[in-house]
Structures are given as C-alpha cells and as structure tokens.
Amino acid sequence: MLGTMMDVPLTLQPLLERAAALFPEREIVSRLPDRSLHRYCYREFARRVRQLALALVSAGLKPGDRVATLMWNHYAHLEAYFGIPLAGGVLHTLNLRLHPDQLAWIANDAADRFLIVDEVLLPLLEQWRSRTRLARVLVVRSSAASSSALPAGCEEYEAFLDAGAGSVELPVAAEQDACGLCYTSGTTGNPKGVLYTHRSSVLHCLAVSLIDSLGLSQRDTLLPVVPMFHVNAWGLPYAAVMVGAKIVFPGRQLDAESLLELYESERVSVTAGVPSIWFALLEALDREPQRWQLPRMRMIVGGAAAPDALLRGFDRHGQQALHAWGMTETSPVGTVSRLTAELESASESEQYRYRAMQGQPVPLLDARIVGDSGVLPHDGQAMGELQVRGPWVASAYFGGSQDPEKFTADGWFRTGDVATIEARGYVKLVDRIKDLVKSGGEWISSMELECMLMGHPAVREACVIAVPHPKWGERPLAVIVLRPGTCATDAELRGHLAPHFPRWWLPEAFAFVSEIPKTSAGKFLKSSLRVQFPSWEWPPER
C-alpha cells in the first residue's frame, strides 16, 4: 500500500529559503586576509546566492557540471556551497594544502569547468592551472580595496555576480542529484572522489543537528576551524544555515590567538577542528588563563583521536570537548561521543573513558565490526574492522568504482579502522589496520599509545610507528615533539605508559623531533615517518 504523505524532494534550496525567511537579520561574519571583518545577514546572503546561481546558468553551466573552489573559510565560499547546487552544478572543494601536481590531477579527474579562487591563492593556482581544462576562473578579492591586475583568463567574482540579474531560469533539482564532490586524502595512491546528493546532505544536516548529536540550533554561533575544503567542513555550514545559526568564519588566520579573539568577540558557542588545533589553543589558555573571557563552547574534535588529556584540559577552562568520528565517505559525521543518561551518574574516570571513545552512531547510521569469522559481538572486547552503512554513506566512488576493498557485497562501507563496540553501542577505534604494530604475532595499538603519551605534561605531539625488529618482527617506535622549555627521557615516558599497558606494548625506543609531518587534514603522516625511520638500532633486551 502506498503512503499518503507529500512527496517533497529533499534538496538544499529549502534550507536556504528557510534561513532567509525566518532569520533574515542573523549574521555571517568573515575575517578577511587583512584581518578586517566582513559582515552581512542571511537576507543579503540568500540574494547573492541566487545571483551566483543565475550567473553560472547564464555562463553555460549545465546540470551536473563541476564547479571547483580554492578558498579559505569565508562568506563567498558559503555562497558557493549553495549557489552552485542551486544552479544545478556540483560543488567541488579543492584542498589548497595539496601539492600542485595533486590539485591538477584532481581537477582533471573531476572534469571541473569553473573555478572560484581567493585572490591570495592565485600564486598556487598559477602553478597548475595550465594543466587543466578550466573554462572560467572567478577571483574573490581579498578586500574591497584590492585592485591589482588579475592574471590573464581570470575575472572578478563580484563582476560575475552582477551578470546574474538576467532572465534565465534555474533548474529544479531532484533529491538524488549530486550537489557536492570531495576527494579523499590519497595518502596511498591517487585520491578518490565521493559524490554527495541533495538528499544525503539534507539528511546529514538533520542528524548532526539533533540534541544528542552535535546539537546545532538557531541559538548557536558556529565557528568552523575545520576547512570548508575538508569534507564540507564536516557538513556544519549546511546545518548552520538550515537551523539559522550565526556563522563566524576565521579565514586563513588559524593560530590560537586569532581564534581566541573571535571566540571572545563574537561569543561563539560551537566550534570544530582537529586535535592539533585544540592542543595549540589549550597551550595558549594554560599560559594566560586570565586573559580570555570566553563563552562556554562545544568544541567538536574530529579527524584524529581525542586524548584524555585534551578532554580534561578543556574541562579545566570550562569548555566542553566533544569527540566525533567520520570520513569523507560518511559525509562525514558517523559517531558522536555524548554520555547517555545512565553514564551521567558514573564515576569521573568512567565518564572520561567513554568520552574519549568515538561514540555512538548517529541516528540512521548503522555500525558493525567484522573479523575473520564474520560479524563480531558488541562486547567491548572483540576487535574487528569497523563497517558502516547509512543514507549519507557512499556506495561507490566518483566514476562508479565499487572497490571491493572498500564496499562489501552486502552493502556496507569498509572503513579500514580496527575497532571495538561496547554493549551501549559506543565505538572505540583501536587503530587503522595499516598502522597496527604486530609484535611477536600480537597486535599493538599505536593510537592508544599516542593518546596516553600526549597526556604527559612535556609532550606536545606523539606518533607511534612500527619498525622492523630482528626477533619480534615489529616493535613500536614513539616519535615525540616536546613542549617548549620541557624535557623528558625514554625511561620517564616509558614509566608514564607502564601503568596503563602490558609490558610488551611499551616502546623500547623514542625519537625526539621538532615536528611530525601531517596530512592536509592535520593528521599524522605516518608514511613519511616510516621513510624517515625505516629501521632502528634496538637496545639489548632487558
């Protein structure tokens, strides 16, 4: 029997229209390259989004065409988030931290026709633009005073918008039409594209806005530190517009002091970023705890595991660090670690243990762990590969590739993460499959060692890799970045770990470095460390 509900397509356009109608005066604030603040409201934002969409259609954009962006987090990038899909196009956010060769490869693989680029990023663009088939390049000026000549073949974004006042009609999107395209980080081989539909994006917005998820509402002021070119800033800009939240964009100034200034002046209540950003922020607060008068914020931590020390550190300053997990293929939010009602009466140590986990799957997303014998129990002990499925989880890569290494025959996405799942449904990542250390036939979690090491007061960053060992096959080597003005010995760090892990887990060796290489998403680039430390002169066995 057919249902009798209205068949209203789930597209991004109603989200935009709702914000303009119900919250027309709500602000969108952007810090520009000269550190000045650009302010306007949802009413003006919606008008300019429509101008952009009309201009793109007038310029010959066809439904499904990809429009790339090469921009920091600011108002014009948000206009592209909505204007490109409204024109029937697909928003393709390019990661400005990638090598020019990778950017050229990705732009060609996506067959990008148009590009919107920040003026400050033109030098980067010129390193790879000639190797692409871009038809139009639109330049967002750094400020209203910018007037320098643009490179040949480039045109001003504002002039392009002014051309959007014609009589062309905008296409009507279907909910299964593609609206966004993001590429994976590609640390092993070429990146892969993931297409998001209008439907998947709207459902993701609804899920992350639930109170037991990320809880975004019209009462919030959101500042996404996570780049808008990294999995659509975790979907938060779309969700913020949907609920009518105030949005504050930090531009390219992501140092701790610049962020703290905006948190304080704009009264931010929700912010999101990777652990390396939050550790720098925590250091600044610890140095000058009386300097900043911050509002209480939910500080969403993703991209890498949130060590216990990070959660406790922000608690000391009256802030709430909220752990979440996801991937490009999951749009990205998959789990959020909020305490259930039962856990609110648990001991402090038990609460921190759960808060440090990746959390429970958000509604509509299913999770399981799979081992050699099949699907494993959710008992907090069994370890297997984490697999997920849901309405915003990819079922294939851009171009139609249903890679059997990533997609199962029964319809689940293979994350490549090893995890346990507690009886309450909390997912705890143990490690990436490729990052586990196999010592004497037994597995050691590099991630758990890293989280505990970063709880030592002298350690700023810790990364653990497997290094060949003549007897045990592999042993963990801990690569350490110390905080300025501190020192620590191998024995001291090993002693810090000893109460928490079996003796055979403890690294025999520690390498102290000034910096750990990172991916464009801020994660530790372990492949570079494996090249840097292909072997080690192990001490005699104790």
Residue 38, burial from CB neighbour count under 10 angstroms (0-12, 13-18, 19+): middle
CA distances from 541 to 424, 478, 490 (A): 42, 17, 15
Active-site residue, selected from the candidate residues 438, 442, 486, 489 = 438
Task: Annotate 492-505 with DSSP letters as a single string.
Answer: HHHHHHGGGS-GGG
End-to-end CA distance of the chain: 73
CA distances from 277 to 46, 306, 384, 520, 534 (A): 31, 12, 30, 13, 29
Please indicate whether residue 443 is annotated as part of the active site. Answer: yes
Cis peptide before 332 (omega within 30 of 0): yes
Please indicate whether residue 329 is annotated as part of the active site. Answer: yes
Partners of 117 in the β-ladder = 70, 139
Q: What is the dihedral of CA 147, 148, 149, 154, to 10 degrees?
A: -70
Name the DSSP class of 339.
Answer: P
Residue 537: half-sphere exposure toward Cβ, Cα within 13 Å: 0
Task: Annotate 221-255 with DSSP letters as a single string.
Answer: EEEE-S-TTSHHHHTHHHHHHHHT-EEEE-BT--S
Active-site residue, selected from the candidate residues 288, 340, 442, 443 = 443
Active-site residue, selected from the candidate residues 11, 69, 93, 184 = 184
Active-site residue, selected from the candidate residues 119, 175, 266, 329 = 329
Task: Provide the 3-class DSSP secondary structure of residue 27.
Answer: strand
Question: Active-site residues: which are they?
Answer: 184, 329, 438, 443
